[in-house]
Structure 1
């Protein structure tokens, strides 16, 4: 099953754009940072995750403030057909108090 939930700081928000079929699209980037235990050793994990929101979700978040901590739920898919780059396609976005 392809379900992903990530929490992180909103570090980038593009201008709202539309597909040829007139569907709103918003590209975001979230910075995730946390300490995790792996094989009994603490490891710092830090990465940027590209996120795409479409339709009403894109319209709702087009004025999101950089620096907000977001919880994004969705699925991973290629950025474009035949692209090796993955993007988190948001199904839900909310403001989180956790990092």
Structure 2
């Protein structure tokens, strides 16, 4: 199963564009920071991830304020060039 749920801060938003199929697409940058327990030890986690919304979700993503924190749900996919991953956002709380 390929499912990711992440609480993150919106740190970057590109201009709205359209796919060859005519769907709206919006690339964003998300930053996550938390503390987890691994092998009984606390561990601080901080990372940035590239994310993309395609279709109706782009309207909601575009309305978010930079720096605001939200819950994002979706799946991971390869970037166009095949290097790295991109988080495809399909849900937003």
The TM-score normalised by the length of structure 1 is: 0.88
Unmatched segments (≥5 aa) in structure 1:
95-99
**What do you get for the CA RMSD once the two structures are aligned?**
1.1
Structure 2 Cα separation of the partners of residues 28 and 76 of structure 1: 14
Give the conservation status (yes or no) of the 8 Å contact 1:13–1:64: no
Separation in 1, partners of 2:40, 2:26: 39
**Equivalenced residues, count:** 93
**Cα offset, 1:38, TM superposition:** 0.6
Q: Any idea what the Cα deviations from partners look like across 1:33-86, whole Å, max 9, x if unmatched? A: 0111111111110000111001111123223210110111000000115x1311
Q: Separation in 1 of the partners of 2:60 and 2:8?
A: 18
Distance in 2 of aligned mates of 1:52 and 1:2: 16
Give per-residue Cα distances to partners, 1:9-54, cap 9 Å, x unaligned.
1100111101122110001111000111111111110000111001
> 1:49, 1:87 within 8 Å by CA — same for their partners in 2?
yes
**Which secondary structure does the structure 1 equivalent of 2:58 belong to?**
helix
Output the CA distance in 2 between the equivalents of 1:84 and 1:61: 24
CA distance in 2, matches of 1:63, 1:17: 15
